[in-house]
A and B are shown apart, each in its own frame.
Chain A
Amino acid sequence: MKNNLIISLCAVAFGLLAGAVLMLATGHNPASGYSYLFEGGLKNPERIGNTLATATPLIFSGLAVAFAFRTGLFNIGVAGQLLVGGFVASVVGLNLDLPQVLLLPAMLIAGALGGALWAVVPGLLKARFNVHEVVSSIMMNWIGFWAVYYGVQSFIKNPSSETESMPLPDAATLKASWLSDLFDGSFINLGLMLAIVVVLAVAFVINRTTFGYELKAVGHNRDAAEYAGITVNRSIVYSMAISGAIAGLGGVALYAGNASNIQIGILPSQGFDGIAVSLLGANHPLGVLLSAIFFGLLYSGRGFMNAMTDIPPEIADSIIAIIIYFAATSILVERLIRWAIRRRANAKLNAAQEGKGK
């Protein structure tokens, strides 16, 4: 746990350093770039609210990736699951005429089911036919992309625009005026509360239940788990379904919280960022929460930085990508740490021996 923290912090430091080099190389001043970047995300309550809101879908997508990771599955299909979950929830939100207290839960359930459906296909293929989940979930991403592309046009098309869905009425979104007012009019919404609840729920399931233990056992060593009497195939299917359901909830937070409609022809980048969030957070629910907020900060502050300094906003994406590369090659950092420890131990030993010699 402590090692994970050091590795993640090192990766962040390297990523920020590489970002500074990039800024320098393109003729910008990294110091002012970073100060505007962080100011843009934290300067006043509204910006802090926006940072948290930007982080909300990332918390869900990061959790979805992390949950599947714990069972040894790489869910690269979170983007499609977000999209499908958001779409199904939007269809429910636009067509059911219910009071808000019933409508929102109905939308959340629909979103979770939509996401779960999209993730359970790769899960079943993996369990039944041993098809690698990476390729099958990439295929599901594109199938979801086109399904939503035409689904929006046929069921919930915005009459005044060809490329987006009808906006949801306020009662069918996670927006809450008291929360926005608390953050001076930010677009922060109830999605954040939901995300925190899901973080706690996932932490509980993974760390405190037999079911979670079984999933982790399958992730650590499939054969040993099978030998211990765990139904590996069932665990794989459940893990993917739950991962997809979390992503689907994220879709609701994204399309019925941060936004109030769906733009067609876009696979949400939050899905792929979820991989980064999960990796930086060491696949741990609380780690995911923290790293999602950090990435939310980078994404939310980049607009302000771009306006003040002309540094292209993609610097945030670059920093995140480089962080992930360093997180993936964390063994390098581990080796360095081990090497430093050994050197210090050797030095001590040598010093002790020299002392004896004298």
Chain B
Amino acid sequence: MWTTIEQIFPYAIIYTIPLLITALGGLFSERSGVVNIGLEGLMVVGAFAGAFTSFKLQESYANEGWVPWVGLLVAVLAGVLFSLLHAFASINLSADQVISGTAINMIAGAITIFMARNMTGSGNIRVSGFSPFDMDWKWLPLSDIPIIGPLIFTKTYWTTWLILLILALSSFLLYKTAFGLRLRACGEHPHAAEAAGVNVKRMRYIGVMISGAFSGLGGAIIIMTYAGEFTGSVAGLGFLALAALIFGQWRPLGVLAATLFFGIATTVANVSQVIPSLAVIPPIVLKVFPYAVTLLALIVFSKSSRAPKAAGEPYDVGKR
């Protein structure tokens, strides 16, 4: 049993990380008052931008360690640029945010494959991303720590630690700084925030752009860690991140717990066939499990939901 957990857990973390950063991005957007159902599309854009950049750079700088990092950076920029479409529609034009987000998803899915096909014909872009490593340095043998060593510090990626750092910083930013307070105020009561001198539209732009940056990063991390290839979709992870955001009740640590749950549940379902103790459970049960639990969680939290009150509503200055 323990060896099974030891085997599965590093993969669960690898799978969790893109989900976590994307959900965290969604948290910024929704906390500022803009529902962003376009996370899926923003991830696809990031995945494409990252894969495209690495692919081009690899032609002249094969096997250079910095190439995937540049890919991540470009993915972040692409995510921000693309999220502006959603920000413009939902903040300036008071468009229905769910529809605008759906349009983002459709545009991202279609245009990235269109461009990828122009490049490679098949529409798939193979890149060599990061390689996993064990944190077993002589001066700091972290992977030798009992219990958590094999779970957390083996087969790990630097991106995992980068994302956890971003999570910590985001938590600080949201709850310990004036900026965080203002951002959250815009999602709860924009008119009060405006009266207190906060520029609601600007805060919402920032919220949506952060969600674009983080989703782009998440999409690219998928390519650079476990996928290794851009195929035109991120298999519904953006929607799952959205569910994790609700499951985690719009709080950073809640989101961490929710995405880790999804990561573990999905990894277990994926490997169940090769692990004897799990193979007795019908695979459909394991596959459906995370989604069914989410539905249950939605019901349980429905009474005490902490959804940002103004999320999804266009900000109308004249409406009090």
Contact = CB atoms under 8 A, between A and B. Distances in A.
A29 interface: no
A304 interface: no
A135 B246 contact: yes
Interface in B273-298: 282-284, 287-288, 291-292, 294-295, 298
A143 B291 CA distance: 7
A263 B89 CA distance: 37
Classify the interface of chain A: helix, strand, loop or mixed. helix
A325 B118 contact: no
Interface in B61-107: 85, 88-89, 93-96, 98-100, 102-107
A312 interface: yes
Contacts of B99: 74, 275, 279, 324, 328
A325 B114 contact: no
B115 interface: yes
Classify the interface of chain B: helix, strand, loop or mixed. helix
Contacts of A150: 282-284, 287
B254 interface: no
Contacts of A146: 284, 287-288
A142 B110 contact: no
Given A22-B114, A328-B100, A321 B106 contact: yes
Interface in A310-358: 312, 314-315, 317-318, 320-322, 324-325, 327-329, 331-332
Nearest to A121: B295
Contacts of B284: 146-147, 149-150
B243 A135 contact: yes
B263 to A, nearest CB: 16
B299 interface: yes
B106 A26 contact: no
B235 to A, nearest CB: 10
A325 B37 contact: no
A22 B113 CA distance: 13
B242 interface: yes
A131 B103 contact: no
B89 A317 contact: no
Nearest to B112: A314
Interface string B255-274: 00000000000000000000
A332 B88 CA distance: 11
Interface string A86-128: 0000000000000000000000000000000000010001000
Interface residues of B, number: 44
A139 interface: yes
A134 to B, nearest CB: 6
Nearest to B102: A275
Contacts of A314: 110-111, 113-114, 117, 123
B239 A138 contact: yes
Nearest to B98: A74
A129 interface: yes
A325 to B, nearest CB: 4
A321 B95 contact: no
A318 B89 contact: no
A136 interface: yes
B60 interface: no
B236 interface: yes
B291 A142 contact: yes
Contact of B236 (A142, A322, A332): A142
A206 B155 CA distance: 58
B103 A125 contact: no
A325 B85 contact: yes
B109 interface: yes
A328 B95 contact: yes
Nearest to A134: B98
Contacts of A328: 89, 95-96, 99-100, 102-103
Contacts of B302: 129-131
Contacts of A232: none
Contacts of A134: 37, 98
Contacts of B106: 272, 276, 317, 320-321, 324
A143 B114 CA distance: 29
Contact of B295 (A125, A275, A322, A329): A125
A246 interface: no
A52 interface: no
Interface in A265-300: 272, 275-276, 279
Given A129-B299, A279-B99, A329-B95, A139 B243 contact: yes
Question: In the complex, which of the residues B37, B115, B118, B294 has the most CB atoms of chain A within 10 Å of its own CB atom?
Answer: B118
**5 shortest interchain CB distances as A-B pairs:** A317-B110, A321-B106, A312-B117, A321-B107, A325-B103
Given A135-B298, A146-B284, 15 more contacts: A131-B302, A142-B291, A146-B287, A150-B282, A275-B99, A276-B106, A312-B113, A314-B113, A317-B106, A320-B106, A324-B99, A324-B107, A328-B96, A328-B100, A328-B102
Interface of A: 22, 26, 74, 76, 121, 125, 129-132, 134-136, 138-140, 142-143, 146-147, 149-150, 272, 275-276, 279, 312, 314-315, 317-318, 320-322, 324-325, 327-329, 331-332
21 contacts: A74-B98, A74-B99, A129-B299, A131-B298, A134-B98, A136-B298, A139-B294, A142-B236, A146-B284, A275-B99, A275-B102, A312-B113, A312-B123, A320-B106, A321-B103, A321-B109, A324-B106, A328-B89, A329-B100, A331-B93, A331-B95
